Chains A and B, each alone.
Chain A
Amino acid sequence: MAPIEKAVAIEKENVIVDGMDISGPWSRIFEQRTIFDYTPELIEKVASIPGAESFANCYQCAKCVAVCPVDVVGNYGPRKLYRYAQTGMDLSEAPQLWLCTTCANCLRVCPKEVNMVRIMPAVREQAILDGKFVPAELQQAFENTAKYGNPLGQPQRKRDAWTQNAGVPVPILKDLGRPVDVLWYVGSYPSYHPRGIDAACAAARIFNALGIDFAILGKEEKDDADSQRLAGEKGLFEMMAEYNIATFNKYEWKEMVVTGPHELNAFKNVYPRYGFSRPVVHYTTFLVRYLDRLKPLLKHPIHKKVTYHDPCYLGRHNGEYEAPRQLLQAIPGLELVEMPRNRENGFCCGGGGGGMWMDSFTAQHTTMRLSEKRAMEAAATGADILAVACPFEVSRFEDAVKSTGNEHMRVLDILELLDRSMRGDVEI
């Protein structure tokens, strides 16, 4: 690479344009000169990967950097990646490849449609194919998904074990032997993670209380693998998608309700490319339809200040901002306060795009976890409760409120809040 030549101001002592004297240092704009010297190869290398073409579109306005969550805890953002590539960084081998959470806030403001949500998975896939560095934790999540059907490495046979704690019937499609209105895709974290299970049980009780005709796939359910796709393992995603689509199509149901925004994104936006196009909604969108029936059930007020964190894959990726808020506001006594960054400008929790499985890796390259930064923002509103609507988030934020000294703030899924208002026998 050629050495970078520092630009020197070219002063002109006498420049008269249209009779006006514009002599001075800024007049250099009238001279052709070299501002910097770089080879565009590493940018072209990224842009040559199918899916990553828009990387080359960047004209370095840096609007993205201002909204990039990773830049808040490090030195990041699409424009910075472009600059790093100009100055010698091979993205396919750099740690920066694994820091983007595909939160899509950059894309929202980018005038040139530099699309990191497409660039990152494409470059990551190439890195994986070329046998380049892949964070070990992420590799483990891939392997777990391939072997066990979930990134946590939990046994498939225990996928429906949580239903025993629900306290209400949770029918399983295979046993039911009849069509249902709603196929509830529970998801890996609500099926296995202790705090995810709490939300799953709450959802089961709410569906029962509303008299929804629903069933789950039970032991037949496997991970949607969308985050694995965004982390670069497209082959794994396709393998899982093929299985899931075949499983979904085995049964008669009218609509699918998903607990998680990542699953919503997978089934609604990506699985159609693989031949699956049946209606899918997130639980917040689904429940808000039943608001009239739900409200009378929410008998027990929750006199708490609550702030809501917009999940990237529910909000920016799928445009649902209001349903979660409407559900929260339906709870008597609850006061909803907003964090400064909300809705379209919501701040990522760090769990997307495979970030969920790279916390130790990202910790080496950032000053703080995104979930910690966001927990501090939530605490600053004076909220007693941080409400979430994504199964990745409860575990992330519960950890973050502890590590940032904000234990007084509870982290609860909207499902849990609704359930508690319904039952009233649980202290918050």
Chain B
Amino acid sequence: MSGDVMVITEHMEGKFSDVSFELVGKARELAEAFGGESIALVLGGGVDASVFASHATLHVADAALNHFNPEAYARVIEALVKERSPRLVMFGWTVIGMDLAAWLSGRMGVPCVAYAKDVRVENGALIVSSQAYGGKLIAEVSPEGEMAIVACLAGSFPAEAGHGSTQATVIPSPVDLGGLKMKFLEVIKPEAGDVDITTQTKLVAVGRGIGGKENIELAEELAEKLGAVVCASRPVVDAGWLPRTRQVGKSGLKVKPKLYFMLGISGAPEHLEGMKDAELIIAINTDKKAPIFNVAHYGAVADLFEVTEAMLELL
């Protein structure tokens, strides 16, 4: 067993995601505490892998990995983890990492911490803070055993520390990537036509608190008066009340508007990932303990409908 920390990086269309750099930066720090090395693992070609501040970068440039293929990724990662026995394997708690972290945990028989917000070493022991239960609670846990897997929420660590120019070592795939059950077919781009919420300067964001599709109209009305566009948190989109193109957050879009006016969004970490950099965040929520009030600049504990209707009268 080594003191190495392995980071599974993610890239799309030739670009690594921010979370990859965040994890690499943190991995360096943790590896030093464990007396090992940080290893960035890059899967798939078509990307410049020598961009990390890791001690080492391994690049499996197999074309079968160019597009994310959960089965291929999982098999390669499993083989490399078995081969290298790192102390810690880090994933992003992203649409990619979520497919891999727990699976690897089950295969390796080692603990996994999801929704990780902080990872640290205290007296040689690994301690992970997990922001589960929709961000309402932070659990501090210590994974037992000599290897662990963490899947970290995007935005948990600074990305700068992860940028570097460590020369990537290209290695062959440790497993045969023929005969996979999963075959990548194509990328489907979102339908054009709907507004692009990432370019808007003002957004009215609605969450589960909006109650139902019939209330979206009220938010639309307010947005119109404010010169804003309506966007939403994931449950609203999953319910089919607004199209996917309006979703802000981890599985949606990242936005950075001048105004982010939030109606009935409690502030689950997945949502915060997508909007915490907005210039002015105002949140209306009936739950005075809603985590969003720790992030918003202004907040009010009130019925969103009453406030919206009162605003409509004033505008």
Contacts and interface: CB of A to CB of B under 8 A. Distances in A.
Interface of A: 147-148, 153-155, 157
Interface string B213-225: 0110000000000
Interface residues of B, number: 6
A148 B212 contact: yes
B109 interface: no
Contacts, number: 14
B305 A148 contact: no
B211 interface: yes
9 contacts: A147-B212, A148-B212, A154-B214, A155-B211, A155-B214, A155-B215, A155-B305, A157-B211, A157-B305
Interface in B173-216: 211-212, 214-215
Contacts of A153: 212, 214
Contacts of B303: 157
Considering the complex of A and B, which 7 residue pairs feature the smallest CB-CB distances, nearest first?
A: A153-B214, A157-B305, A155-B215, A155-B214, A155-B211, A154-B214, A148-B212
Contacts of A154: 214
Nearest to B215: A155
A157 B215 CA distance: 10
Nearest to B211: A155
Nearest to A144: B214
Given A153-B214, A155-B215, A157-B305, 9 more contacts: A147-B212, A148-B212, A148-B214, A155-B211, A155-B212, A155-B214, A155-B305, A157-B211, A157-B303
Most chain A CB inside 10 Å of its own CB: which residue of B211, B214, B215, B303: B214
A155 B211 CA distance: 8
Contacts of B211: 155, 157
A148 B211 CA distance: 9
Contacts of A148: 212, 214
Contacts of B212: 147-148, 153, 155
Contacts of B214: 148, 153-155
Nearest to B218: A155
A155 B212 CA distance: 8
A157 B212 CA distance: 12
B180 to A, nearest CB: 39
Interface string B46-78: 000000000000000000000000000000000
B144 to A, nearest CB: 45
A382 B273 CA distance: 69
Nearest to A157: B305
Interface string B277-315: 000000000000000000000000001010000000000
A153 B305 CA distance: 17
A153 B211 CA distance: 12
B205 to A, nearest CB: 19
A175 to B, nearest CB: 15
A147 B303 CA distance: 19
Nearest to B306: A157
Contacts of B215: 155
A153 B212 CA distance: 9
A153 B303 CA distance: 20
A354 to B, nearest CB: 21
Most chain B CB inside 10 Å of its own CB: which residue of A147, A154, A155: A155
A147 B214 CA distance: 11
Nearest to B213: A153
A157 B214 CA distance: 12
B24 to A, nearest CB: 47
A145 to B, nearest CB: 13
A155 B305 CA distance: 11
A231 B163 CA distance: 65
A154 B305 CA distance: 14
B9 to A, nearest CB: 44
A147 to B, nearest CB: 7
A157 B306 CA distance: 10
Nearest to B305: A157
A347 to B, nearest CB: 34
A153 B213 CA distance: 9
A167 B176 CA distance: 79
A140 to B, nearest CB: 12
Contacts of B305: 155, 157
A147 B212 CA distance: 9
A30 B298 CA distance: 96
Nearest to A154: B214
A34 B293 CA distance: 83
Contacts of A147: 212
